[in-house]
Amino acid sequence: MSEMTTIARPYAKAAFAYAVENNAVENWQEMLVFAAEVSANDAIQELLTGALAADSLADLFVQVCGEQLNEAGQNFIRVLADNRRLKALPAVLALFNELKAEYDKEIDVQVTSTVELSDEQTQKIAASLEKRLARKVKLNCNVDSTLIAGLVIKAGDTVIDGSVKSTLSRLTDALQA
């Protein structure tokens, strides 16, 4: 997967820079979502791995996408086809989404608790994390009863582990040392 990310990175950066320059970030995201779905189709996958000429492949891909792609989006597809990079579209989309989240100052946060959190609790957690991370926070809440009590919060590289399971584990390690 890291090879595909390396291949996709310059295309994602170029698409994002163009989208920002033209105030069309949302539109480009929608086009890339659609194009990535098309590239994941089994019939299209066969064509991508086949010996079809780049121009023919680009024309076919653009026809399949139809009105979902504007002229700039069609040109982007043609560049990808010319460089045999249409298979990288899902990775381009993922990187584009990361760039958009950074641009919008948003972050996805995983919150794992032992019980279902109430709306009030999720709002308090979101407000606290927004202050701490200086970003808009999108919470994705999970339930894991093995934590015993407390929360585990993962925001990018930051992990806040306030679970009883983790505390007991640290105490056990300290007593054994």
pLDDT in tens, 2-40: 688 888 899 999 999 999 999 988 999 999 999 989 888
Mean pLDDT of the 108-137 span: 88
* 75 and 89 both lie in a single domain: yes
* 14 and 76 both lie in a single domain: yes
Task: Give the residue from 52, 70, 102 where a domain finishes.
Answer: 102
Question: What's the confidence (pLDDT) of residue 138?
Answer: 87
Q: What's the N-to-C CA distance of the chain in angstroms? A: 40
Tally the C-alpha atoms within 13 A of residue 98's C-alpha that lie toward its C-beta: 12
* 88 and 117 both lie in a single domain: no
pLDDT in tens, 44-76: 777 777 667 777 778 888 888 888 889 999 999
Nearest to 40 by CA among 88, 94, 106: 88
DSSP string across 79-115: HHHHTT-GGGHHHHHHHHHHHHHHHTTEEEEEEEESS
Mean pLDDT of the 161-173 span: 84
Reported as type and span, the H/E element at residue 155 is: strand 151-155
Task: Give the residue from 49, 81, 102 where a domain finishes.
Answer: 102
* 115 and 86 both lie in a single domain: no
The per-residue pLDDT of the chain, averaged, comes to: 86
Query: Which residue type occupies 108?
Result: D
Higher pLDDT, 148 or 176: 176
* 35 and 113 both lie in a single domain: no
- Which tokens belong to 50? 């086949």
- Which tokens belong to 55? 């121009």
* 15 and 89 both lie in a single domain: yes
Total-model pTM: 0.68
Host domain of residue 21: 2-102
pLDDT above 70 (res 1): no
* 48 and 133 both lie in a single domain: no
Calpha distance 70→121 (Å, rounded): 43
User: Are residues 62 and 77 in contact, defined by beta-carbon separation less than 8 angstroms?
Assistant: yes
Count of domains forming the chain: 2
* 57 and 70 both lie in a single domain: yes
* 112 and 135 both lie in a single domain: yes
